[in-house]
Amino acid sequence: MLLFFMRHAETEINPIKNDIDRELTQTGIIQAKGAAKFLSKYQIDKMIVSYAKRTMQTADILQETISVNDKEIISQLYEGNEDDIIDLLLLQNNKRKNILIVGHNPTIFLTTLKLMEQNSSDYDTVSQSIMHPAKIIVLEFVGIQNWQELDFTKGNLVKTSTT
């Protein structure tokens, strides 16, 4: 089972707009297209997206390239913490083996770290990196058949992508 953790692409800095309404910049659009190219190598069964405008725009651009039949917009990805995301994952349909989460920093990064195998050089590398806009971290969970078996210390790094 694979989990793809993605931070939304670059957004405008606009002190007048509410944070939830900020949109992607032209650079963000290019970043999202690059992320879609990276993701096109994988079969994504489900996409879980924050309801903020920038994450939904990122997801829409991804779906121009990758085919995802199951897309869910979730408020916890904007308002919640890493435990909320993990609780959400534990409730997922087991037919959905590869799940992409498009969310926000620092929560998306902290969730990734919480689910990674911590006694590895990959953990050290990832934990010392920055979750740039449109960055994707792919974790594989070997030996589990359903999301309820998710072991919070057994995610192995497959790949990272920064566009």
Burial of 98 (0-12, 13-18, 19+ CB in 10 A): middle
Residue 153 confidence (pLDDT): 57
This prediction's pTM: 0.95
Q: Give a yes or no: residue 16 inside a domain.
A: no
CB 71 within 8 A of CB 57: no
Residue whose C-alpha is closest to residue 33's, from 67, 59, 73, 62 = 62
Whole domain around residue 54: which residue ranges?
A: 2-10+29-160
Half-sphere exposure of 111 (CA within 13 A, CB side): 31
Domain assignment present for 117? yes
Per-residue pLDDT of the chain (163 residues; tens, 9 = 90+): 999 999 999 999 988 889 999 999 999 999 999 999 999 999 999 999 999 999 999 999 999 999 998 999 999 899 999 999 999 999 998 889 999 999 999 999 999 999 998 888 999 999 999 999 999 999 999 888 889 888 665 899 999 997 6
**The CATH number of the domain where 126 resides is what?**
3.40.50.1240
Q: Which pLDDT does position 163 carry in this prediction? A: 66
> What's the domain count of the chain?
1
